[in-house]
Amino acid sequence: MDETATGTGAGARPPVPGESQSPPAPEPGAFGMDAFTLDDRMRLFHFAAVEKRHDYLWVLRALDRGRANYQVLLHASQARELLGALRAEHSGCPEIDDVQPLLDALADWRLLDRSYDGTRAANLAEYRNRHYVYQFTQAGYRAYRAVEEVLGAGLQDAQLSRLVFPDILADLKALAEANRVGDGEEVHRKLARLDQALSDMAMRAARFYLMLGDLARTNDTRPEVFLTHKDALLTHMREFAAELARYQPLLATAVAEAAETGVDRLIALAAEADERPFSSPRHREHDWRQRWAGLTQWFGAGAAGEAERLQSATVTAIAGVLAMLRRVTEARRGGVSRESQLRHLAQWFASCPDDDAAHALFQATFDLGSPRHIAVPHDDPELIPSRLSWWETEPVRVARTLVQAGRAPRLHGVGRIERNEAQRQRLRADQLKAERQRQAAGASLTSAGVYGRVLDEPETQTLLSLLDLALSARVAVSRSTASGSAHGVRLTLHPCEGSTTVTTVRGRLHLDGLRLEVS
């Protein structure tokens, strides 16, 4: 073997001050993946960086095919037969004469588990030759699948899931009902399903925005890829942003309703129904509490939620795609892209027979050596005494087009902006005053309510703005309640029999079948 298995010794996360940098040792009595130290886990990927990495990859693919056919333990001869079957199907599969050294190296890196097979020995001499059989270790199979996912990743894998929002909303309502009646198994199922949905959404979003970043970096070299997918990208992001904005207040309300049934009770029921045999009750309860905290961070009410950040990232990505489209369109406006022009120019420079020809081509192309003489009269020549030299007088403003291209500007630019600081300060003071009035009106609505009294003008304006937000959030998926929040208060619409009336300085506001609650 010309490859040596060397450990990296690197950590999987940034170092923490005061923390030991040595790989953690496995716990006493650990088995399976828990018995792998940090260095052992890093060595699992060593096969992807050695010289014969393609041979190692196809050997692992052969073992994976045997695993799919329920052949868990494989001898070297069986692995060779599976490689022959792969070679008949895939032209890129190499012809490997001896797979035994490759299997031994993979076993040394702990991707494979090697054991003795005494049933193959016909006599004592063969038994002493130690006929080996191989199978994937749990960590080794995960490392192999991780490499396969990277190799098989494509543009089609990057997508945002907008159809998951109705399922999340339904699961949140079912979670609140199960916690209310004390159904621990249903709480465990719904909470696990919500955690899986959020993990999948976060992974899809991260993969999608990384794809947009790669596309932005490569659109100059491969603009046809971007132009092919631009319409689908814009439609996909706009639909996702619309669905997220539509369901965000509904999901926040559903999270709040689930929390009202008792967070501690919900966590206790989920941990009690958890069937992980090698996890202590305290660890399971801590794990489910962390998952509930992540769910609240995603869809709970507040300006720092992950749903808000995802909405902002989607809007920013739409603007980025439009900017890329504008750059590509401007580059191809003349029939020949800027990239093609620069490539041809570079080829001309490379074909120059000597330095003089290269300098002449540079002078003809960029013309940076020849001076350009211009004459511009002063706007008011009488202001400058004739006895002063050019070094002592004020400079004359010269148009940029006259200096760069030798052409006088045809249109004058915009005038200088005159800033009125007094007017700006007055407008800013009025803005702050109006904001304080809205906050005071919101506090008054929260403390005194909206019924049984006459609302003044600031309270009326605040109530109407909150009512507009709440009514816009009422969609077909939630006909029971709707809410809207602004200025630090939340207005909730509850269905009721008959109608309610709110008295304001502008008149009476009649609401058919709705009752208002400000919190």
H runs (alpha helix) in 219-305: 223-260, 263-273, 281-299
Cα–Cα distance, 96 to 80 (Å, whole number): 8
494, 514 Cβ separation under 8 angstroms: yes
301, 201 Cβ separation under 8 angstroms: no
pLDDT band at 246, cuts 50/70/90?
confident
Cα–Cα distance, 398 to 24 (Å, whole number): 69
Tokens of 127: 């038994």
- Give yes or no for residue 153 having a pLDDT over 60: yes
Identify the pLDDT of residue 332.
Answer: 58
Higher pLDDT, 63 or 9: 63
Residue with structure tokens 């996890």?
279
Higher pLDDT, 68 or 319: 68
State which amino acid sits at residue 66.
G
499: CB partners within 8 A, 6+ apart: 510, 511, 512, 513, 514
459, 483 Cβ separation under 8 angstroms: no
Cα–Cα distance, 24 to 40 (Å, whole number): 11
Identify the pLDDT of residue 34.
Answer: 58
Burial of 140 per CB tally in 10 Å (0-12, 13-18, 19+): buried
- Beta strand pairing status for 454-455 and 74-75? unpaired
- Which own/partner contact pairs does 456-463 have at CB distance under 8 Å and 24+ positions apart? 456/505, 457/505, 457/506, 459/504, 460/504, 460/505, 460/506, 462/438, 462/486, 462/487, 462/489, 463/491, 463/502, 463/504, 463/516, 463/518
Higher pLDDT, 423 or 326: 423
118: CB partners within 8 A, 6+ apart: 127, 131
Report, as an integer, the average pLDDT of 268-290: 81
Higher pLDDT, 404 or 514: 514
Q: Which of 505, 430, 499 is nearest to 463 (CA)?
A: 505
Cα–Cα distance, 272 to 1 (Å, whole number): 52
pLDDT band at 13, cuts 50/70/90?
very low
| Mean pLDDT for all residues in the chain | 75
100, 45 Cβ separation under 8 angstroms: no
Complete DSSP assignment for 268-283 = HHHHHH---TTS-HHH
Report, as an integer, the average pLDDT of 399-403: 75
Span of 1-10, 75-84, 383-392, 433-442 with lowest mean pLDDT: 1-10
Report, as an integer, the average pLDDT of 161-166: 75
- Give yes or no for residue 479 having a pLDDT over 70: no
Identify the pLDDT of residue 15.
Answer: 40
**Ranges assigned E (strand) in 117-198:** 132-136
511 three-class SS: strand
359, 254 Cβ separation under 8 angstroms: no
- DSSP character for 90? -
Q: Which residues pair with 512 in a beta bridge?
A: 499
pLDDT digits (tens, 9 = 90+) for 301-352: 654 567 777 777 777 777 777 776 666 666 655 555 666 778 888 888 888 8
Complete DSSP assignment for 422-460 = HHHHHHHHHHHHHHHHHHHHHHHHHHH-SSSSEE-HHHH
Higher pLDDT, 361 or 482: 361
400: CB partners within 8 A, 6+ apart: none
Cα–Cα distance, 442 to 186 (Å, whole number): 39
Cα–Cα distance, 210 to 459 (Å, whole number): 46
Burial of 254 per CB tally in 10 Å (0-12, 13-18, 19+): buried
Helix (H) or strand (E) holding 360: helix 355-366
Complete DSSP assignment for 388-422 = S-TTTSPPPP--HHHHHTS---SS--PPPPPP-HH
482 three-class SS: strand
What count of other Cβ atoms lies within 10 Å of the Cβ of residue 7?
A: 13
Cα–Cα distance, 512 to 97 (Å, whole number): 83
pLDDT band at 519, cuts 50/70/90?
confident
- Beta strand pairing status for 489-504 and 507-518? antiparallel
Cα–Cα distance, 393 to 386 (Å, whole number): 10
262, 217 Cβ separation under 8 angstroms: no
Report, as an integer, the average pLDDT of 150-179: 75
pLDDT digits (tens, 9 = 90+) for 102-116: 888 888 888 888 887
